[in-house]
Amino acid sequence: MSEVTIATAEPGALSLRALTKVYAPGTPAAVDGIDLEIHPGEFVTLLGPSGCGKTTTLRMIAGFEEPTSGELRLDGDLINKVAPNHRPMAMVFQSYALFPHLSVFDNVAYGLKLRKLPAPQIREQVEAALASMNLTPYAARAPHQLSGGQQQRVALARALVMRPKVLLFDEPLSNLDAKLRVQMRGEIRRLQRQLGITTVFVTHDQDEAMTMSDRIVVMNVGAIEQVDTPELVYRRPASVFVADFIGRANFLDVEVGQVGADDARITVLGREWSVPRHPDADGHGPATLLVRPESVRLASVDEQEDGGGVGRVVASMFYGESIEYEIETESGPLVVMVADPHDAQTFAPGDRVSVGFEASRAWLLPAATPVAG
Amino acid sequence: MRHRRLAALAALPLGSALALSACAVDQAAPGASSGASGGAAGSGTVVIACTPQEEQCQAMAAAFTKATGIKTSYVRLSSGEAVARLGAGKSKPEFDVLYGGPSDGHVAAAKSELIEKYVSPNAAKIPDKYKAADGTWTGTYVGALGFCSNTDVLKKLGVEAPTSWQALLDPKLAKNVAIAHPSTSGTSYTAVWTQMLLNGKDEAKTFDYLKKLHSNVLQYSKSGSAPGQMAGRGEVAVGIVFSHDCVKYQKEGFTMLKNTFPAEGTGYEIGAVSLVKGGPNPANGKKFIDWTLTADHQNIGPTVGSFQIPTNPEAKVTEDMVKLDQVKLVDYSSDEAGAAKKSLTARFDAEIAPQPK
Amino acid sequence: MATLLAPPAGAPESGAALARRPLRSGRDLTLVAIVTTVSLVLFVIVGLPLIRIFAVAFAPEGWEIVTSMLTNPVNRRVLVNTVQLGVIVALIGTAIGFVLAYTQVRVRFRGKRVLHLLALVPIVTPPFALATATISLFGRNGIITNGLLGIQGDVYGLKGLTLVLVISFFPVAYMNFKGMLESLDPSLDEAAANLGASKLRTFLTVTLPMLVPGIAGSVLLLFVESISDLGNPLVLGGDYTVLASRAYIAITGEYSVPAGAAYSLVLLVPALSVFLVQRYWVGKKNVVTVTGKPSGTIDLITAPSLRIPALVISGLVAATVVLLYLTVFVGGFVRILGVNNEFTLRNYQFVLAGIGSDAMFTTTTLALVATPIAGLLGMVIAWLVVRKLKRFAGLMDFVGMLGLAVPGTVIGIGYAIAFNTPWIAGGRQWFPAVAGGSAMLGGAAAIVMVFVARSLPSGQRSGIAALGQISPAIDEASTSLGASSATTFRKVTLPLIRPALLAGLTYAFARSMTTLSPIIFITTPQTKIMTSQILAEVDAGRFGNAFAYCAILIVIVLGVIGLLNLALLHPSLRGIQRRPS
């Protein structure tokens, strides 16, 4: 994508306080009293499984749903009751929602025409937007004549040309094929960085969330589980749900011994370890240890017996750049990922291996409480 | 195997169509004729193109079957439709008899070679003026043209029931007269020809009258009897219809209707019966015609609400029928009238109908 | 009826393109047999009558009248009247259909089911029911006009015809717009709002432009329907003559079949050309997939500035419908409505037990015979057109539709000309006479044939739309497992398009029961048809009988439709049904 030459407005700051949406009285809330501060210029992703409330939250921000209670503020102003067509936000829809009876040019010009700008100015801005999206040759085409990726860019151009304070994305990449998705991810992120527009992005795809966001908001059944940078969400998940949802996870039952300020001594795989811990994993309740597959360390052993730190290889899958193993240990099954494996790290099903892990990479969590509903 | 299945599939709808249609055929027959047995010797069927009202057709068919044992079926058609149907089916006629409707319809049919001349032995009783001399058709009833007025509407307009053709031109009756269109209605054409006869066959004078009448006419209806029911419903003050229709409406419940006749003279229609050429059952057809000329048949009319005057002098003339000797009739010749119909109605179409009111 | 208008955008074209298999001789004889049979049937029930009527119209006597249409002022007036009526009814009917559909789909109010039902009621109505009710209510001495308001209603002619025809045909527009509005993507409205458009602006700049092809299609279709109508101009026309009634009068009043054929030909030209324009040009510009499933729900409008006018108009239309139908039902129970309101059961006795019962049984029977034939034929033709035929798909589709595109009077006269006499060539009878009392089955065959011809197009359209939604891979899977074309159709395709079949059957029955113009020339002693009986009763001024007939007819139609719905959706017959979720 070429250098973007779209003028922008001051990026807005969004504030959600105790924002709640209940559809029918007596039913569980779709969004249950969430608090969130989104800073100007930030790229925030709402991530979660379907039904978690992320889309409803986005629609409340856009104005298509009215909050049942709570406050929604843009740059400090309360906008709960402001009609969607009066909010300085632009949205890119999952289905792109291009007007089928208008050409690409007219689609992009639609919002500007409503602002009653003079025609030459409209043309200038639209052409600039189309140029930045490499869409200039398609200006006269009808939407159905374009490919999915091109339609996606038209939708983007149409949103950007409005100079919104906040840019909203409703799962825009889910209708694209894998390769295009990856490409568009990068383009959208680059664009956002260049323009510095506050962006709220909704997706259920964790790869998108991880690669694009400044911060990720992980949601589950209407509530926020964690708001953090991708690194922290990955390394220091706030709950078993988040740990399980992002990346792949092994959960081991452990005995918790001495507990420090931010670490704890645990016993697993036949020995003691010192691992970082979640503030709530203080030894008073049941705890579980998160070990990511790539943090597990395997070595061949001579010992003839299982137990302790010895495990048995149940299955192995060769990916080329890595090998994935399923290991059975006395502490439970483990999925292991060995990148760029040497011969010494190549095992066959049935082999016995010594199992360990990078202690600094592990994370002690309170065990999952059964989720209601 | 495949073909058999296909054939079965195709046979199913076809078979059911046949079976059910056959049902329809059987079902209709008992409706159209009551009881196949009884009465004098007679067999087979007879098919009638029947112009009078449905009830009369049904009563007549039942009576004939009872009297002769011949299965009678009919289709109820207006006079014009009947003649057209005969024409369309010329190469393979489906009817034996054309029954009812004004004589000029029968004349037109005869001109198209659809009729076979038949002089019934019973025709001797019928007065000459009510039958064709050459046996093309024989009259079974007579109807006189009259003014059927709604007394309530007349009262509102402050007009008396008209007793002359001139009275119809009263400006107070503007848009309150109803008459059918002469090209589609025998009733209306009778009125037009009557005007011709009253004006000594002077077309100019006739059309002059019609032009004046035009301003008082609400609309020219398609069917001949519609003006009567329009008067009955109070949509117009006066409808020009045959008097027996007016009586019929009175009996149906339009009690505010009153029948009057023009003093200058009025026309009449002769309801005729004739034998269709090449019909499927000519012998039975002739028997039917014989029967329609008897008093027995002509007495059926009043029992089903038809108050035309019977042609057979021995038939009963009831209270409700008009006494012909009390009305001034013009000398109406259906042959002459029929011959001039096409040109007169064409002229009407061109000069009268499109005029603004 | 929505499916009558729009050929589904995109899908069947690609589906057919993917699924067209060349006819491999020797391999699929059943397919060849089916195509031949269907073509033959179509030729007989549609092609032959048209050819015969053309022949008569182009003969010297007929041609003279055709050419006089522009020179003779009377005939010119008739032509102008026809077009004028068609245009007015088309515009008003479309507008009303649109307002009602928009109200139903987009405006918040209670009683949506009632409005929907009322909007559909006119479809099951026989001709003249509304015309006679209108005369009784709004005529010169009408109950409402004179009785209530004290004015002399001028109901004969253009005004009355417009009212009756608009009420009769707006459901077609309503169904069409309802389907389109329901299929509109709600995210388009949201996108427009997001870009700053108010609800009104969104309607004007997004919704309405997308509906333009539907609007055009509606206008054109309503035009064709209203100029083809015969019953209402006969009863309500007064001095306002149109081509359909002129043709009828030519035959029944002037005893001239060539004249009737000539007027029919003149009527055919605008009807057919408008129909073609609507099918092949307007339909293709449709950007709304009528049968597509809408994603998400749309916000119902509560703004008073839009809500009140919409509800007022809809309410007026609904009230008019209720009033007219109430009149029909009540009218059957009194002696003479408006004149002598004495309660009586004589009218119903006449229809149910007296002379009228004949017509009731015969008509229902013949309609019941024709309905499955029409439904099945429509499905088979749809299947052939979408899946099997290569070059001739368009032709078969067109011929199948002709039965409806051609005005009823034209078909009726064509049938009378073509089938009253057997077709004898070379001294041998090739085709028996099927119309007229001396024909085989007492003329019932011709009536069934004309019922089929008139009602199969709707099933055809539904079938084509439904098939467009089904992947051709399903047919191919069946074939790869060894099934012939006929077996595939029977066991795989037909069950999947069951809803379309049901729609086709429903419409076929309703249409057959209420049609007048095609059958009026071919009734026989053995086949009394209800609609022509009603005409006779109206003609004779016996409105009571006419109302009773109409009421019974409506009840029969609704009853059979109800039974059809139950039967075809019964769990034991349902099997695994595709349910749009």
**CATH number of the CATH domain containing C112:** 1.10.3720.10
Q: Greater confidence, B217 or C443?
A: B217
Query: Do β-strands B71-76 and B45-50 pair in parallel, antiparallel, or remain unpaired?
Result: parallel
What pLDDT is attached to residue C570? 62
How does pLDDT run across A217-257, given as a tens digit for each residue?
999 999 999 999 999 999 999 999 999 999 899 999 888 88
Query: Does C14 or B96 have the greater pLDDT score?
Result: B96
Question: What pLDDT is stored for residue A17 in this prediction?
Answer: 95
- In degrees to the nearest 10, what's the CA dihedral of C518, C520, C525, C529? 80
Residue by residue, pLDDT tens for chain C (581 residues) are 333 444 444 344 344 444 444 544 444 777 888 889 999 999 988 888 888 888 888 888 888 888 888 888 888 888 999 999 999 999 999 999 999 999 998 888 888 888 888 888 888 888 778 888 888 888 877 777 777 777 777 788 898 899 999 999 999 899 888 888 887 888 898 999 999 998 888 989 998 888 888 888 888 888 988 998 888 888 888 788 899 888 888 877 666 778 888 888 888 888 888 878 877 776 666 665 544 444 556 667 777 777 888 889 999 999 999 988 888 888 888 877 777 778 888 888 888 887 778 888 888 999 999 998 998 898 889 888 888 887 788 888 888 888 888 888 888 888 887 877 666 555 445 566 666 555 556 678 888 999 999 888 888 888 887 887 777 788 778 878 877 777 888 888 888 887 777 877 887 888 888 888 888 888 776 778 888 888 878 877 788 888 998 998 888 888 888 888 777 666 554 444 444 33
Residue B40: predicted pLDDT: 45
Average pLDDT over residues B206-211: 91
Instruction: Tell me, yes or no, whether C254 and C269 share the same domain.
Output: yes
CB contact under 8 A, A89 and C194: yes
A4 belongs to a structural domain = no
**In chain C, what residues touch A83 (CB-CB under 8 Å)?**
193, 198
Does residue A186 lie within any of the structural domains? yes
Residue from the list C146, C252, C438 with its beta carbon closest to the beta carbon of B81: C252
**Contacts with B, C 310-349, CB within 8 Å:** 335-336, 338-340, 342
Pull the structure tokens for residue B84: 């057209």
Q: Does A247 touch chain C (CB under 8 A)?
A: no
Establish if A148 touches chain C: CB-CB under 8 angstroms: no
- Supply the pLDDT for residue B121: 87
| DSSP structure class, residue C282 | I
Q: Is the minimum CB–CB distance between C444 and chain B shorter than 8 Å?
A: yes
Residues A218 and A305 in one domain: no
Identify whether residues C395 and C505 lie together within a single domain: yes
Interchain pair C541, B232: CB under 8 A: yes
pTM: 0.78
In a domain, C54, yes or no: no
Q: Do C420 and B80 touch (CB under 8 A)?
A: no
* Domain assignment present for A2: no
C500 close to C552: Cβ distance less than 8 angstroms:
no
> Please, which residues have CB within 8 angstroms of residue A269's CB and are 6 or more apart in sequence?
A252, A308, A309, A329, A330, A331, A355, A356, A357
Backbone phi, psi, residue A315, to 5°? -150, 155
Judge if A252 and A337 occupy the same domain. Answer: yes
Quick check: B24 and C540 CB within 8 A? no
C387 with C492, same domain?
A: yes
Contact flag B228-C417 (C-beta cutoff 8 Å): no
Taking residue B146's Cβ as centre, other Cβ atoms within 10 Å add up to: 25
Express each pLDDT in B220-269 by its tens digit: 887 777 888 889 888 889 999 988 888 888 887 788 899 999 988 888 88
What is the number of structural domains in chain C?
2
Least confident of A48-57, A110-119, A322-331, C4-13: C4-13
Give yes or no for residue A100 having a pLDDT over 80.
yes
The last residue of a domain, from among A224, A240, A256: A240
Chain C partners within 8 Å of B46 (Cβ)? none
Q: Give the closest of C192, C193, C210 to A100, CB-based.
A: C210
Looking at the structure, tell me whether residues A134 and A63 fall in a common domain. yes
Structure tokens at C322: 């209720």
Final residue in a domain of this structure, among A207, A240, A273: A240
Q: What is the CA radius of gyration of chain B?
A: 23
Q: Is B260 left (phi over 0), alpha (psi -120 to 50) or beta?
A: beta
Q: Which residue of C has its CA nearest to A89?
A: C194
Nearest to C419 by CA among C438, C437, C408, C434: C434
Å between B69 CA and nearest CA of chain C: 18
Say whether B309 sits in a helix, a strand or coil: strand
Q: Residue C136: its chain B contacts at CB < 8 A? A: 233
pLDDT per residue as tens digits for the range A311-370: 899 999 999 999 999 999 888 899 999 999 888 888 999 988 999 999 999 999 998 765
Contact B232 C336 (CB under 8 A): yes
CA dihedral of B196, B197, B202, B204, whole degrees rounded to 10: -30
Q: Alpha-carbon distance A110 to C191, whole Å?
A: 10
Tell me how close the Cα of B200 comes to any Cα of chain C, in angstroms: 26
| Chain B contact set for C77 (CB, 8 A) | 354
Most confident range, picked from A152-166, B169-183, C173-187, C424-438:
A152-166
Mutate to test the interface with C, among A114, A122, A163, A200 (most CBs of C within 10 A): A114
CB of A9 less than 8 A from some CB of C: no
CATH class of B32-141+270-321: alpha beta
What token pair was written down for A273?
């370890």
Query: Is A286 among the domain residues?
Result: yes
Chain B interface mutation, best of C28, C350, C526, C537, highest count of B Cβ atoms under 10 Å = C526
Q: Is residue A78 part of a domain?
A: yes
Nearest-CB residue to C196 (from A62, A97, A115): A115
Domain ranges of chain B: 32-141+270-321, 143-268+327-352
CB contact C499 to B (< 8 Å): no
Structure tokens that stand for A66 in this block: 């009215």
One-letter amino acid identity for C494?
L
Q: What pLDDT is stored for residue A141 in this prediction?
A: 92
Q: Which domain holds residue C37?
A: 1-45+345-422+430-574
- B232 and C338 in contact by Cβ < 8 A? no
Assess if residue C219 is contained within a domain.
Answer: yes
Closest chain B residue to C74, measured at CA? B350
B143-268+327-352 has the same fold as B32-141+270-321: yes
> Residue B28 and residue C442: Cβ atoms within 8 Å?
yes
Those of residues 351-390 in C touching chain B at CB distance below 8 A are 355, 357-358, 361-362, 365-366, 368-369, 372-373, 376
**Do A195 and A297 fall into the same domain?**
no
Q: A46 and A98: one domain?
A: yes
Which pLDDT band holds residue B19 (cuts at 50, 70, 90)?
very low
pLDDT surpasses 80 at A264: yes
- Is residue B202 scored above 70 in pLDDT? yes
Q: Do C196 and A89 touch (CB under 8 A)?
A: no
Are C108 and C245 within one domain?
yes
In angstroms, the separation between the Cα of residue C195 and the nearest Cα of chain A is: 5
**What average pLDDT does the structure give for chain A?**
90
Question: C226 CA to chain B: closest CA distance, Å?
Answer: 20
Q: Are residues C32 and C66 in the same domain?
A: no
Answer yes or no: do B354 and C73 touch at CB < 8 A.
yes
Q: What is the CATH number of the domain that holds A74?
A: 3.40.50.300
What is the domain range of residue A234? 14-240
Which H helix or E strand runs over B257?
strand B257-260
Give the A:C interface size as CB pairs under 8 Å. 63
- Within 8 A by CB and 6+ apart from C273, the residues are none
CATH code of the region B143-268+327-352: 3.40.190.10
Q: Which of C316, C338, C360 is the last residue of a domain?
A: C338
- Please list every residue in chain A whose beta carbon sits closer than 8 Å to the beta carbon of residue C197: 85, 110, 114
pLDDT at C86: 94
Bridge partners, A311 (sequence order): A353
Structurally, how many domains does chain A consist of?
A: 2
Residue C423 is predicted with a pLDDT of 65
- A52 shares a domain with A198: yes
